[in-house]
Amino acid sequence: MSFPLLTVTAVVPAAGAVVTAAVPAARRTAAKWTALAFALATLVLAAVVTARFSPGGARYQLTESHAWITAFGVRYELGVDGIAVVLVLLTAVLVPFVMLAGWHDADPLETSDRRWRPTQGFFALILLVEAMVVIAFESTDVFLFYVFFEAMLIPMYFLIGGFGDQAGAHGEDEQARQRSYAAVKFLLYNLVGGLVMLAAVIGLYAVTAHQLGAGTFSLPQILHDRANGTLTLSTTAERWIFLGFFFAFAVKAPLWPLHTWLPNAMGESTAPVAVLITAVVDKVGTFAMLRYCLQLFPAASKWATPVILVLAVIGIIYGALLAVGQRDIKRLIAYASISHFGFIILGIFAMTSQGQSGATLYMVNHGVSTAALLLVAGFLISRRGSRRIADFGGVQKVAPLLAGTFLVGGLATLSLPGLGPFVSEFLVLVGTFTRYPALGVIATLGIVLAALYVLVLYQRTMTGPVKAGIEGMKDLKVRELVVVAPLIALLLFLGVYPKPVTDVINPAVKDTLSDVHRTDPPPKVTVPAVAAAKENAK
Amino acid sequence: MNPANYLYLSALLFTIGAAGVLIRRNAIIVFMCVELMLNACNLAFVTFSRLHGNLDGQIIAFFTMVVAAAEVVVGLAIIVTFFRSRHSASVDDADLMKL
Amino acid sequence: MSATAAAVHSLWTTRALADTAATPAIPTPHIEYAQLSPVLIVFGAAVLGVLIEAFAPRAARYAGQLAVSVVGLAAAFAALVALAADGYAQGRSHVAAMGAVAVDGPALFLQGTIVLIALVATFTFAERRLDPVAHGNRVDSFAAQGSAVPGGEQEQKAVRAGFTTTEVFPLLLFAVAGMMIFPAADDLLTLFVSLEVFSLPLYLLCALARRRRLMSQEASVKYFLLGAFSSAILLFGIALLYGYAGTVSYGGIADVVDGTAKLTPALANTTGNDALLLIGGAMVVMGLLFKVAAVPFHMWTPDVYQGAPTPVTGFMAAAVKVAAFGALLRLLYVVLPGMRWDWRPVMWGVAIVTMVVGAIIAVTQTDVKRLLAYSSIAHAGFLLTGVIAVSPSGVSSVLFYLVAYSFVTLGGFAVVTLVRDAGGEATHLSKWAGLGRRSPLLAAVFAVFLLSFAGIPLTAGFSGKFAVFKAAAQGGAVPLVVVGVISSAIAAFFYIRVIVMMFFQEPQPQGPTVAIPSPLTSTAIALGVAVTLVLGVAPQYFLDLAGKAGVFVR
């Protein structure tokens, strides 16, 4: 038996969570360093996974397979394709930054109660989320995926509700109420989504058990049996089960109109937790659309494509418009994220190779760019003690480094050429354009609006006369620079040279597309942009 | 006489008992109505025993009597304690846990 | 009349000899004591407990009762394991005691579950560290003297003298013995008698709370009157089924229902009357649905769960459900499978209403014990979806769910006993605010239980829910699964609400304190956590066990 690399990648953060939680209450700093060490170890392991992955090789690599619950036909099956490998690496890269950025977020105000250990809890929960997300990316068994897809809600829920932002516009009590409302809303939306998916999962089991004799959840096996005709889903069954799965992923992703939990959750949680939500956990939703919706239910996916694309485009425009109108920095970023998730879903369901490569690349770029922007915004907010845009002004005069990094993060968000998101957004648009020109045009409007909300945000907070409360603002500390600098470097790298990532992604996308029986439409008109994009994709 | 008539009587007694349980307010009377229902069952058992020509029903009737006696012991104990602590045996007074 | 009879004087006469000869000889009953030993051991322990109560000095009773109960239950469990190892659970399934008691897989599995529940419940019954020491005596959750008027002089005397109601242990054992027979009963008479054997001690146990005695007595009166009413209904149903089939044995009735029995003239007459079968079957099922607390027979549950002493509530919530679902399964699967097209639509309706009503009403509750009561109603609905499947996987999924549910419930109620203020247990939800701040470990444990009730993956509740829903879906009841999923979502809302209170709200200044329990209660809670996690993460062994135990004998 070969070394269970994928299991270890998930077990290390889980073990880290246990160890961190067990650190005595008084040794808070020790707990932080322990957690960081485990996160870095996970990063190393994720890097090893990436290095061992060969892009041209088998579809699922580094596979592990053990019987788990035979009575349900559930196996413990892990394996990564190009898309999963990239997202595991993204998760492992972001978590240490999240920890560093939230280094002091969970320090208790008073140390009177020696049993109360929020710091240990905060870092342990982050590690737990990381472990669950990693295993969700790695699993190739629908049930195993579902278990962690649902279970990760619980630590997230405690992170949102337990460690809120102290910088709201209202009093302490109102703040706590808002926070617990946001946490409950997050949990209920996602739980309802997950339970609907549970019904679909059970339906899938009933179908496989009926036709194969023994129920199975193994993705490779189901794909294999469908390909050789031993397993056939009736059109009705396929559509219902698809809808059950898609609903859960659309809530998690989040797709308009199921997005309303995101602004609350991101607004009320601390910036690092918000990064965890939008850059890590939500990616599981879009990833699952690619892996489960498209591969398991190709016919139903094609059937639902028009509606999903329209919803995605509405999400792009709606998110961008609401972002323009926000008065709260974090809620603005949340709505911007909704707009970006619209792009990702658009790219996935356009069913072209550029669209899906772009969407996968977008997941990475959005993760990094949002992390950069949100974490800098978090530093900004904690300095001023307020999230309201109106409370800021002229920051670039007192804290130039802070303002500069904020600008870079913002420019990445509006997809400035030269930064990572540009490449992916361009690919998505080109991929959409070849098949659905009208939707492509409308989606482009989202970019214009993005420029508007980012630049207006920058202008109001950073430029102009220095407002009261801003004068004494300190610039970025070393710890904060350590967080921001690598992220910006990564954005630049991905913007200029995305090839290493796309090389890993492209074979997986090709496999997925062949599952859906879709090929890229032949170019009817030679548009220079299309040709350029194709060059770029290669 | 047609044994079916005993069944009608038994059904009637059972219904009277059930109606009493649902309508009456005094716990003792409610309890007596339950006993009436049990006796209606006994009548039905004995009649069916006669109809089928086997002894099962009659034996069950004895068991029912024993069970009813046990129920009286426990039930009266509970109702009497209840009465002693509130000086009322009305089930309407049992409202400590209403929402 | 013979000639000799005519010779005697006219005040008495001798029996007609010819008649005696015509009566068939009644065979000596043949009782398989070995196969019935688990139940007999528990009964023996209970009788021993009564003797201790009668003859042992007061000071020695507590230790004696506890020892007898624990040893008796452990021995009964050992006997059950031995029977299962002998193959009675599978190949050698058997109907013992002249057709009265089945010894088969489901019976042994459920009896084992009930005995283990009772063992854990015994620990919580025996807990003496929670209530403050009264006049130098450690006291448990039970009244000093059940017969004394609450607040009266006699009660004060009893408290000063340090009396405790040690009768609860034999009462518990009698109830356990009744519950063990209930799911194994193979004729309707045994079903009825065992129902009463376990119900009567429970009525008494409900009335024996040390704190809030009026409420406890009220719960007992309600439980008793409604319980007696439901058992009268059950009995009349039995009478009608007997009238229909001419027998009360499960196999005999099933044969008549299937039309495979030898027709006598009387039978030909009664089997023509379907009303007897339908009404009789319906009334028996109603009696059982009352015990499992299915809507619309659930009215007693919240009041009784709230008023009864919390250890008793935990025991009732877990063990009664196990026993009653066992009996319901056997009745529907062994006696009435021939009429499943009649009862399935009805049970569909009951299951849907139970899940939805249980979940929706729970949302408005403000008392922890009432909340758990409504949650137990909703769980009865989830269990019914597995019952409706009418398949081996339906049986095994219900068995598995019962194990998962009962130990979590026991643990949950054990946690409730620990959160106390001056008036005893602080069961109002508002007092639980900020518990996660004061006592993180306890709050975390309770959160685990709540998550399991809500059916979050990696907990026992999820495995159980998945098992019953899977069985239902394979049985073609997909709409039922959808309703189940929706009501799970509603139910999740109020479990989450409690977690929010515990972790995200500031503790109140005069909030409750958390008592430090003795190892007895700690064991109960730890076992609940262990079962939750083990059945959640690695349920395979127990699913196999339930799967192997999934065949009834007839």
Residue B94 has pLDDT above 80, yes or no: no
A122-139 mean pLDDT = 90
Nearest Cα to Cα of residue B36 among B54, B10, B56: B10
Q: How many CB atoms lie within 10 A of CB A226?
A: 17
Interchain pair C267, B52: CB under 8 A: yes
| Architecture field, domain B25-87 | Orthogonal Bundle (1.10)
| Cβ-based contacts of C246 with chain B (< 8 Å) | 48, 52, 54, 56
Q: What is the pLDDT of residue A31?
A: 84
Please tell me which of the candidates C482, C504, C544 has its beta carbon nearest to residue A179: C504
- The domain of A79 spans 5-537
Check pLDDT > 80 for residue A136: yes
**Residues, chain A:** 538
φ and ψ of A444, to 5 deg: -60, -30
Per the structure block, which two tokens stand in for C19?
A: 């008649």
Instruction: Tell me if chain B has a CB within 8 Å of the CB of C130.
Output: no
| Rounded CA separation A350/A362 (Å) | 14
Q: Given an 8 Å threshold on Cβ–Cβ distance, is C302 in contact with B97? A: yes
Amino acid identity of residue B68, one-letter, is A
Predicted local confidence at residue C408, as pLDDT: 93
Shortest alpha-carbon distance between residue C89 and chain B (Å):
29
- Encode pLDDT of C364-391 as tens digits: 888 999 999 999 999 999 999 999 988 8
Q: What gap in Å lies between CA C385 and CA C392, rounded to an integer?
A: 14
Q: What residues in C contact A176, CB-CB < 8 Å?
A: 504-506
Q: For the CA atoms of chain B, what is the radius of gyration?
A: 17
Tell me how far apart the alpha carbons of residues C440 and C505 are, in angstroms, rounded to a whole number: 13
**Strand, helix or coil for residue C135:** coil
Which token pair is C209?
Answer: 């709370």
- Closest to B40 measured CA to CA, from B18, B22, B73: B18
A111-to-A105, A119, C508 alpha-carbon distances in Å: 15, 11, 18
User: Token pair of C399, please?
Assistant: 């068995």
Burial pattern A472-490, b for ≥16 Cβ within 10 A else e, equals ebebbeeebeebbeebbeb
Q: For residues A188 and A250, is the Cβ–Cβ distance under 8 A?
A: no
Closest residue by Cα to residue A123 from A281, A262, A276: A276
pTM of the predicted model as reported, rounded to 2 decimal places: 0.89
Residue B75 sits at the chain C interface (C-beta within 8 Å): yes
Q: What is the mean pLDDT of chain A?
A: 83
Pairing label, strands A61-69, C513-514: unpaired
Q: What is the pLDDT of residue C373?
A: 93
Q: Strand, helix or coil at B51?
A: helix
Task: Give A308-344 pLDDT, tens digit per residue.
Answer: 999 999 999 998 888 888 888 888 888 988 998 988 9
Predicted pLDDT of residue C1: 43
**Contact B69/C at CB under 8 A:** no
Neighbouring C-beta atoms of residue C390, cutoff 10 Å: 18
Test A71 with C457 for CB contact under 8 angstroms: no
Check if C306 contacts B (Cβ < 8 Å).
yes
pLDDT confidence of residue C24: 63
Q: B-contacting residues of C 177-196, CB under 8 Å?
A: 189, 192-193, 196
Q: Please calculate the CA angle C432-C119-C126 and round it to the nearest 5 degrees.
A: 60
Nearest CB to C236: which of B40, B71, B74?
B40
Q: Is residue A525 over pLDDT 80?
A: no
At A538, the pLDDT band (50, 70, 90 cuts) reads low
C248 touching chain B per CB within 8 A: yes
Q: pLDDT tens digit string along A375-425?
A: 888 888 887 777 888 888 878 888 888 888 888 888 888 888 888 888 888
* Interface residue C363 vs chain B (CB under 8 A): no
Sole residue written with tokens 């013995």: C177
Closest in C489, C497, C504 to A191, CB measured: C489
Give me the count of residues in chain B: 99
d(Cα A342, Cα A340) in Å, to the nearest integer? 5
Domain count of chain A? 1
* DSSP secondary structure of C312-329: HHHHIIIIIHHHHHHHHH
Separation CA C176–CA C182 (nearest Å): 10
pLDDT for A522 equals 66
Q: Which of A24-28, A37-41, A85-89, A445-449 has the lowest mean pLDDT?
A: A24-28
Based on C-alpha coordinates, what's the Rg of chain A?
22
Q: Which of C181, C194, C230, C236 would best serve as a mutation to test chain B binding (most B beta carbons within 10 A)?
A: C236
pLDDT for position C2: 47
Q: By the CB < 8 Å criterion, does B97 face chain C?
A: yes
> Hey, CA dihedral for A228, A233, A238, A244, is it positive or negative?
negative
Q: Do A71 and C478 touch (CB under 8 A)?
A: no
Listed by number, the residues of chain A in 209-248 with a beta carbon closer than 8 Å to a beta carbon of chain C are 209-210, 215
Question: What are residue A449's phi and psi, to 5 degrees?
Answer: -65, -35
- Chain A residues within an 8 Å CB radius of C547: 71
* pLDDT at A170 > cutoff 60: no
Q: pLDDT digits over C480-514, tens only?
A: 998 998 898 888 888 888 888 888 777 777 778 88
Is-contact A14 A130, C-beta < 8 A? Answer: no
Q: Chain C contacts of A188, Cβ < 8 Å?
A: 489, 492-493, 496
Beta carbons of A369 and A321 less than 8 angstroms apart: no
Q: What's the rounded mean pLDDT across residues B5-23?
A: 94
Degrees (nearest 5) of the Cα angle C267, C270, C271? Answer: 80
B79, two tokens: 């109702």
- Residues in chain C within 8 Å Cβ distance of B17: 232
Q: How many CB atoms lie within 10 A of CB C242?
A: 29
> A64-77 in b/e burial notation, b at 16+ Cβ within 10 A?
beeebbebbbbbbb
SS3 state at C142: strand
Chain C residues with CB-CB distance to A191 below 8 A: 489, 492, 496
Is the pLDDT at A165 greater than 70? The verdict is: no
Q: Which residues contact A320 (CB under 8 A, 6 or more apart)?
A: A335, A336, A339, A445, A446, A449, A450, A452, A453
Put simply, whether B87 touches C (Cβ < 8 Å) is no
d(CA C171, CA C192): 19
Task: Give C266 to chain B, closest Cα distance, Å.
Answer: 5
Token readout for C493 is: 């809302």
- The CA-atom distances, in angstroms, between A243 and each of A287, A295, C410 are 16, 14, 38
How far off is chain C from B26, nearest CA to CA, in Å? Answer: 11
- pLDDT at res. C391: 86
At residue C137, the 3 state secondary structure works out as strand
For tokens 């339950």, name the residue: B34
The answer, for A169 touching chain C at a CB cutoff of 8 Å, is no
H or E element that contains C424: strand C424-425
pLDDT of residue B14: 95
Instruction: Tell if the CB–CB gap between C473 and A205 is shorter than 8 Å.
Output: yes
Alpha-helical regions (H) of A23-80: 28-52
Residue B24 has φ and ψ, to the nearest 5°, of -70, 155
Chain C residues closer than 8 Å to B60 by CB: 189, 238, 242, 248
Residues of chain B in contact with residue C147, where contact means CB-CB under 8 angstroms, are 81
CA-based Rg of chain C, rounded to a whole angstrom? 25
Q: Which pLDDT value is given to residue A133?
A: 92
Low-confidence stretches of chain C (pLDDT < 50) are: 1-8
| Interface TM-score (ipTM) > 0.90 | yes
- Quick: pLDDT tens for A415-452: 888 888 888 888 888 888 888 888 888 888 888 888 88
For residue C3, what pLDDT is reported?
47
Average pLDDT over residues A263-269: 84
Asked if the Cβ–Cβ distance from C232 to B41 is below 8 Å, we say yes
Chain B partners of C145 at a C-beta cutoff of 8 Å? none
Residue C522 contacts B where some CB pair is shorter than 8 Å: no
Q: Which residues pair with C425 in a beta bridge?
A: C420
CA A133, CA A290: separation in Å to the nearest integer? 16
Residue keyed to tokens 């009953």: C29
Query: How far, in Å, CA of C433 to CA of C499, rounded?
Result: 9
- In this structure, which amino acid lies at residue A349? F
Contacts of residue A448, defined as CB under 8 A and 6 or more positions apart, other chains included, come to none
**Chain B residues with CB-CB distance to C187 below 8 A:** none
**Residue range A187-203: mean pLDDT, rounded:** 88
**A71 and C543 in contact by Cβ < 8 A?**
yes
- Asked if residue A257 has a cis previous peptide bond (ω within 30° of 0), the answer is yes
Q: How far is C269 from chain B (nearest CA, A)?
A: 9
Per-residue confidence (pLDDT) for residue C349, from 0 to 100: 92
Q: What is the pLDDT of residue B37?
A: 95
C-chain residues near B52 (CB < 8 A): 243, 246, 264, 266-267, 270
Residue B64 touches partner C, C-beta closer than 8 Å:
yes
Q: What angle do CA B52, B48, B56 make, to 5 degrees?
A: 75
Q: Is residue B11 very low, low, confident or very high in pLDDT (cuts 50, 70, 90)? A: very high
* Cα A444 from Cα A429, distance rounded (Å): 7
How far from A515 is each of A258, A485, C233, CA to CA, in Å? 28, 40, 60
Q: How far is CA C115 from the centre of its chain?
A: 11
Domain boundaries defined on chain B? 25-87
Average pLDDT estimate for A221-227:
82
Structure tokens at B97: 């846990």
Q: Are residues A199 and C474, on separate chains, in Cβ contact within 8 Å?
A: no
Judge contact between C334 and C274, C-beta under 8 A.
Answer: no
Integer Cα distance of A283 and C360 in angstroms = 33
Q: Which residues in chain A touch residue C543, judged by CB atoms under 8 angstroms apart? A: 69, 71-72
Between A133 and B88, name the one with better pLDDT: A133
Asked if residues A439 and A487 have their Cβ atoms less than 8 Å apart, the reply is no
| Interchain contact, B97 vs C189, CB within 8 Å | no
> Which chain B residues have a beta carbon less than 8 Å from that of C269?
51
- Report whether C492 contacts C457 (CB < 8 A): no
Question: What span, in angstroms and rounded, lies between the C-alpha atoms of B16 and B33?
Answer: 8
C534 touches chain B (CB under 8 A): no
Contacts of C186 (CB under 8 A, 6+ apart): C95, C99, C100, C101, C102, C249, C250, C251, C330, C334, C553
Helices (H), A253-352: 261-268, 271-275, 282-288, 294-296, 298-324, 329-349
Sheet containing C513-514, strands listed edge to edge, beginning at the edge strand earlier in sequence = C424-425, C419-421, C513-514
Neighbours of chain B (3+ CB pairs under 8 A): C
CA distance A484 to A95: 13
Contact (CB<8Å) C470/A202: yes
Task: Say whether the B–C interface has 3 or more Cβ pairs within 8 Å.
Answer: yes
